[in-house]
Amino acid sequence: MSTFTAGTEISTAIMTLFNAMSAGVHNDFWNAIGGRLYKHIAPQNTAFPFATYHIINVTPDFTIGGKNDAEDFIIQFNLYSNDKMSTAALETAYTALRTLFDWCAVELTNYYTNYFRWDWSRQYQDPDQVWIYAVQYRIALEEGKV
């Protein structure tokens, strides 16, 4: 299994699901962060709230016969808000993120998605008084989709 190819497909699937519209309307997560979801790092001076996502870890999953035909990915979303008085915007974005991605069905070209599941979340404030909600998901992929 090519981790690079699988990672590229996961990134594409995340952005496709994020940007999808139903009856001309974006999903609640897109609306909660104003369409500002970025891979790795947001552009300088991006308006709050916004989110980033990262592939944190990839672990091979060996099946019968020792063949590496599956991999488990850890994806982390970080939600950011600079509202020093309230975490309400961040909590709204968190709820919408979970609604969109918990056990979601991501469509990949070369892999089966066994699951896309929420793993853990943590909310904290950085030294610049920016609220951050870190949210991790586990994704299990299997090679072989044609």
Its pTM stands at 0.89
Whether the CB-CB separation of 63 and 77 falls below 8 Å is answered with no
Number of domains in the chain: 1
Is omega for the bond preceding 49 within 30 degrees of 0, making it cis? yes
Cα–Cα distance measured from residue 126 to residue 116, given in angstroms and rounded to the nearest whole number: 28
- Give the domain range for residue 111: 3-143
Cα–Cα distance measured from residue 121 to residue 123, given in angstroms and rounded to the nearest whole number: 7
Contacts of 123 (CB under 8 A, 6+ apart): 87, 90, 94, 131, 132, 133, 134
Tell me the pLDDT band of 146, cut-offs 50, 70 and 90: very low
- Domain with residue 60: its CATH number is 3.30.2000.30
pLDDT, tens digit, 9 for 90 and up, residues 78-97 = 999 998 778 899 999 999 99
Cα–Cα distance measured from residue 3 to residue 73, given in angstroms and rounded to the nearest whole number: 9
Tell me the pLDDT band of 1, cut-offs 50, 70 and 90: very low
CA separation, residue 112 to residues 78, 87, 106, 138 (Å):
26, 37, 9, 14
Residue 37 pLDDT > 90, yes or no?
yes
Tell me the pLDDT band of 52, cut-offs 50, 70 and 90: very high
Residue 30 pLDDT > 50, yes or no?
yes
Neighbours of 10 (CB within 10 A): 22
Whether the CB-CB separation of 72 and 58 falls below 8 Å is answered with yes
